[in-house]
Amino acid sequence: MPDSSPMLYFFDLMAARRASIFLVLVLAAAAARAGTVSGRVILVKDGKELADASNAVVWIEGAKAAADGHANGKGEMKSAQKRFQPRVVAVPTKGTVEFPNADPIYHNVFSVSGDNRFDLGLYRSGASKSKTFDQPGLVRIYCNIHPQMVGFVMVVDTDFAVVTGPDGAFKFEGVPAGPHTVRVWHEEGPEAKEAVTVGAGPSSPLSIRIDVSGFKPEPHKNKYGKDYKPPPPDSEDERY
């Protein structure tokens, strides 16, 4: 009998090529239907719009980008001047945040937020430690030495997330067609959400208002669940 291997290889090759072409066409069609979601977050206090709308996290719930992806799986929150900089970071689920220490003193970054709790321990100036966040949700970040250090990592199950600057503006391109929910979080107000439908034509910019009138900062405990001890007066302790 004649060897049929070359013929089978030829048909397998043709089938693979057809599958590749089909995939390219599907992705191209999806990209063509993708659209843009944009808008502005407005913080309101006692009926007046604030000039600064920084540190609001905006994300499109559950939205996944095309194969090239939009999500940035890494973030950084630096300890500098006894503050977390930036104060707010957004990463996708399984994203990693670096916590470098840029101060000439020690820090101990930690969180007790549910399944994303962690404790990086004490580390010196110039060192950096990281944490990978496996579960979506808000993670409150503290330092076990300095109670004034407060930060937030928002872990979201989406490829579309951003932290706003002072103008509160946001813009997502390449959003898959169809209905979506845009969510907004800010530490000083209630979480907001807005329904949006992405279609073939341009969508109107969203205007999402968050009332921060009732915000009152709340003290937090250290990693042991106890009150912070005040530093000694005129202390030369390098930790402080």
106 is a domain residue: yes
My answer on whether 83 and 152 are in the same domain is yes
pLDDT in tens, 134-149: 999 999 999 999 999 9
191 is a domain residue: yes
My answer on whether 100 and 148 are in the same domain is yes
pLDDT in tens, 185-209: 999 999 999 999 998 666 789 999 9
My answer on whether 113 and 78 are in the same domain is yes
**Of 125, 142, 157, which one is at a domain's C-terminal end?**
157
My answer on whether 172 and 58 are in the same domain is yes
129 is a domain residue: yes
My answer on whether 83 and 59 are in the same domain is no
My answer on whether 176 and 194 are in the same domain is yes
201 is a domain residue: yes
**Of 107, 127, 157, which one is at a domain's C-terminal end?**
157
- pLDDT at res. 204: 87
- pLDDT at res. 192: 98
My answer on whether 81 and 51 are in the same domain is no
209 is a domain residue: yes
- pLDDT at res. 19: 44
Domains in the chain: how many in total?
Answer: 2
My answer on whether 91 and 52 are in the same domain is no
- pLDDT at res. 66: 73
Asked if the model's pLDDT at residue 65 lies above 90, the reply is: no
pLDDT in tens, 78-127: 999 999 999 999 999 999 999 999 999 999 999 999 999 999 999 999 99
DSSP codes joined into one string, the chain:
----HHHHHHHHHHHHHHHHHHHHHHHHHHHHH-EEEEEEEEEEETTEE-S--TT-EEEETT----TT-----EEE-EEETTEEESSEEEEETTEEEEEEB-SSS-B-EEE--GGG-EE---B-TT-EEEEEE-S-EEEEEEESS-TT-EEEEEEESSS-EEE--TT-EEEEEEEPSEEEEEEEE-TTS--EEEEEEE-SSPPPPEEEEEE-TT--------TTSSPPPPPPTT---TT-
My answer on whether 134 and 180 are in the same domain is no
Asked if the model's pLDDT at residue 239 lies above 90, the reply is: no
- pLDDT at res. 93: 96
Average pLDDT along the chain: 87
My answer on whether 180 and 124 are in the same domain is no
How crowded is residue 175: how many other Cβ atoms within 10 Å of its Cβ? 24
My answer on whether 85 and 153 are in the same domain is yes
**Residue scoring higher pLDDT (81 or 2):** 81
82 is a domain residue: yes
228 is a domain residue: no
Per-residue pLDDT band at 230 (split at 50, 70, 90): confident
Asked if the model's pLDDT at residue 2 lies above 90, the reply is: no
- pLDDT at res. 199: 86
pTM across the whole model: 0.83
- pLDDT at res. 24: 35
**Residue scoring higher pLDDT (73 or 165):** 165
Provide the CATH number for the domain around residue 173. 2.60.40.1120
Domain of residue 106: give its range: 72-157
% of the chain at pLDDT higher than 70: 79
pLDDT in tens, 30-52: 444 689 999 999 999 999 999 99
Instruction: Examine residue 86 and say whether the peptide bond preceding it is cis (omega within 30 degrees of 0).
Output: yes
End-to-end CA distance of the chain: 86
**Are the CB atoms for 168 and 41 separated by under 8 Å?**
yes
Asked if the model's pLDDT at residue 132 lies above 50, the reply is: yes
- pLDDT at res. 12: 56
My answer on whether 52 and 81 are in the same domain is no
6 is a domain residue: no
Per-residue pLDDT band at 69 (split at 50, 70, 90): low
